[in-house]
Amino acid sequence: MISEREVAKTLTLIERDPLKAKEIVSKYPERDYFVVGITGSPGSGKSTMTDKLAEMFAAEKDVAIIAVDPTSAFTGGAFLGDRIRMRRSSRRKNIFIRSMASRGAVGGLSPGIYDAVEFLGRVGYDIIFVETVGVGQSETDVVNLADLVLLILAPGSGDDVQMLKAGIMEIGDIYVVNKQDLDGSQKLLANIEATLKLSGIHRDVISTNSVTGENIDNLKKLIQSHLTVLSQTEKLKKNRKDRYRFNLLNTLFSIIRTRYKKTEDLEKIISFYANKEEEDNGSKEN
């Protein structure tokens, strides 16, 4: 694995230029890794949960965290608020943490984040946690990026109503009712289970306390179980293919939106996509 400093410098290049990013990523061989998305309402404890889970998985694997922070209106960068809450993870040598700005992306994730995840996976990180800014009806891009999505919810933050909104129920693979020591947690848990049943959606639901660590070990086992099933099926390969296609489409949209006058950029990415399609079709025939 390359040094942490080199990883950080490369991620800066990736974040600045989506076309250069794809050239950089393609220099490293493909390998197996997992992407776990962590999303949920603001104040539900996403950062603390990410910190706990990363620390636990780091006992066995190399872990990376991408914390997606709101974009600063002044600098265009990230506010870095999430990293402050990840004190345990920041002290471990085999956990790499990077804050990246959402850059106003409609679905909550900028094109650079997709390339950053691919880069981190290829250079040796086994599990990559991506913590989003916060879930909303339009912020569902995490399903296009992650192999597994944790939807973190907490009592007293309007989640009872938010759960019923279109687009929210489908994004989670595991529903986590965090801050289980607070009043209303059992009611929220029951509401989630009832809503899932009514909608005909089969998902795992678990309650935790990310501050005290209560039941986090069982959540880790649940995550590991899901990832094991994924690795034993074709679902993981499909995820990779879908992620790649969505990344390219996302990049095209970004170029059209911000640099549409520079037609050579558009031609480059279209050519890159066409060549990749030819390679994929050729490998299938062989």
Judge whether residue 149 has pLDDT over 90. Answer: yes
CB 132 within 8 A of CB 101: no
Tell me if the pTM is above 0.85.
no
Residue 273 lies in a domain: no
Give the Cα separation of 247 and 241 in Å (integer): 10
* Residue 216, φ and ψ in degrees, nearest 5: -70, -30
Judge whether residue 78 has pLDDT over 50. Answer: no
Judge whether residue 86 has pLDDT over 70. Answer: no
* CA neighbor of 108 nearest in space, from 78, 141, 77: 141
Per-residue pLDDT band for 134 (boundaries 50, 70, 90) equals: low
Number of domains in the chain: 1
The alpha carbon dihedral of 97, 139, 22, 243 has a sign of: positive
C-alpha distance from residue 150 to each of 39, 49, 169 (Å): 6, 10, 12
Residue 242 lies in a domain: no
Residue 130 lies in a domain: yes
* Residue 140, φ and ψ in degrees, nearest 5: -120, 15
* CA neighbor of 128 nearest in space, from 141, 138, 113, 140: 113
Per-residue pLDDT band for 139 (boundaries 50, 70, 90) equals: low
DSSP 8-state secondary structure symbol assigned to residue 209: B
Give the Cα separation of 106 and 230 in Å (integer): 28
Give the Cα separation of 28 and 123 in Å (integer): 7
Residue 45 lies in a domain: yes
Q: Say what the pLDDT of residue 79 is.
A: 47
Residue 210 lies in a domain: yes
Give the Cα separation of 212 and 35 in Å (integer): 25
* CA torsion angle 89 5 11 147 (round to 10): -40
Give the Cα separation of 259 and 244 in Å (integer): 22
Residue 268 lies in a domain: no
List % helix, strand, coil for the chain (3-state, nearest 5).
50, 15, 35
| Enclosing domain of residue 222 | 4-236
Residue 159 lies in a domain: yes
Token reading at 35: 């992407």
Residue 248 lies in a domain: no
For 29, residues 6+ apart whose C-beta sits below 8 A from its C-beta are 122
> What is the average per-residue pLDDT within 233-256?
80
Per-residue pLDDT band for 168 (boundaries 50, 70, 90) equals: low
Q: Which CATH number do you get for residue 135?
A: 3.40.50.300
CB 153 within 8 A of CB 163: yes
CB 179 within 8 A of CB 148: no
Token reading at 283: 């490998």
* CA neighbor of 127 nearest in space, from 41, 205, 220: 220
Q: Higher confidence at residue 207 or residue 80?
A: 207
Q: Say what the pLDDT of residue 243 is.
A: 84
